[in-house]
Amino acid sequence: MFFSFGRLTQKTSSFPSNATTSQIYLAAKEILADDYKGLNNDVQDALTGQFLVKANQDQAAGYAYARAEKNAPKIVERLASQAPVSTIVALAQTHASAKDYKKAAEWYGNAARQGDAEAQYSLGKLYETGNGVTTNIVKARSLFKDAASQGHEGAARAMEQIKIMPVSTNPVHGSLDIEMVAIPAGEFWMGSADNDRAASDYEKPRHKVMVQAFSLGKYEVTQGQWKAVMGFNPSYFQECGENCPVERVSFYDVQKFIEKLNALTGITYRLPTEAEWEYACRAGKDSPYCGGDDPDSVAWYADNSRGTTQPVGRKQPNALGLHDMSGNVWEWTCSAYTGHYGDGSESLCAEGDRKRVVRGGSWYFGPQNLRSGIRDWDGLAYVYLGFRLARD
């Protein structure tokens, strides 16, 4: 098939500067009409877009591709993949003008991955407003930052506006303004007493531990927060909702989350040590559970969970204001597990491939496994394993 590229170039280059995108598109399609005999209209639009690219008419090419995409998506995808990034941005802009924000987000994403500042800014605006994508202020901020680094003034202004947005302390959805509770320095008795009949040997010997001041998440990290950072939800209990704790995550999954979260927020989060976790759980008390004597008042566990996790923050907090320290999901710490206390590992973050301690019990287990002194270890990603964040 022969296309009259010479005629197309001559015609489009002679257009006045105020010609509209649609005028250029229609003129190009008319010029090529003889060559289009036997082709359906969507294929005609796609090929018109291809030659408008060659004629350096990016906006008109994007318009032609957008018209073709509804019924000829594979052809458009192939042709657009060969087009300059400016054409891909124009294609996204056409979809955005037509309020087809889902398609606009897809094409802005293609261009943003190629480093186009305008696409990064425009995609960031979609994430900021929730048009065509799930609202995600963290992703919006990251895209604005990338575009601003290339001198995009609109992106720089958008970053400043996001900085002065009210900070939400509600864990609902994907907010990464994570509410932290300041934990003062202090000394406490860690582990279970020798006369505690419910205690196992690996909870002993009871010993004094000094803990430096730090901060700990008021809530367990939620499914929405994980998804906002990682882009997917690994949880088994997704029907529970975005405000339920993320679960089915391994220690190494959590490390990847923390690394990415720190890069996005500029805040240095980490997992608590085992000593920090128990110190915060006990909150200066010697209660059997983290926050009281009655498991039903402070924890979701086998007797009341109905076989699933529950939204965070709905049970009574402990004396420090921390929710769900007992129950809901076992929580990862950064400390290595040993069969008993004695080498000081409970106060350290372990390095390398070591068994890590988990604390607190979960929706799956009975009250025996909710106790303040209970400890266990794991290495995999189960439906009862989650975490909360700490920072210095």
For residue 169, what pLDDT is reported? Answer: 38
For residue 333, what pLDDT is reported? Answer: 97
Q: Containing H/E element for 141?
A: helix 137-148
Whether the Cβ atoms of residue 93 and residue 58 lie closer than 8 Å to each other: no
**CA neighbor of 227 nearest in space, from 135, 97, 116, 315:** 135
- Interstrand relation of 207-211 and 186-190 (parallel, antiparallel or unpaired): antiparallel
Instruction: Tell me the C-alpha to C-alpha distance, in Å, between residue 353 and each of 335, 344, 347, 379, 380.
Output: 11, 18, 18, 9, 12
For residue 1, what pLDDT is reported? Answer: 35
pLDDT in tens, the chain (392 residues): 334 445 555 555 555 566 788 877 787 777 777 677 767 777 877 777 777 887 788 888 778 788 878 777 888 888 877 888 888 888 888 888 888 898 889 889 988 999 999 999 999 989 887 788 877 777 888 899 899 999 999 988 887 776 554 433 344 445 677 889 999 999 999 998 888 878 888 899 999 999 999 999 999 999 999 998 998 999 999 999 889 999 999 999 999 999 999 988 888 999 999 999 999 999 999 999 999 999 999 999 999 999 999 999 999 999 999 999 999 999 999 999 988 898 899 999 998 888 999 999 999 999 999 999 999 988 777 889 999 999 99
- Return the CATH number of the domain spanning residue range 180-391: 3.90.1580.10
For residue 380, what pLDDT is reported? Answer: 77
User: Which CATH class name applies to 5-163?
Assistant: mainly alpha
Encoded tokens for 202: 């690996």
- Alpha carbons 226 and 138: distance in angstroms, whole number: 12
Domain layout of the chain by residue ranges? 5-163, 180-391
For residue 51, what pLDDT is reported? Answer: 75
- Alpha carbons 133 and 135: distance in angstroms, whole number: 6
For residue 6, what pLDDT is reported? Answer: 53
A 10 A CB-CB count for 384 gives: 20
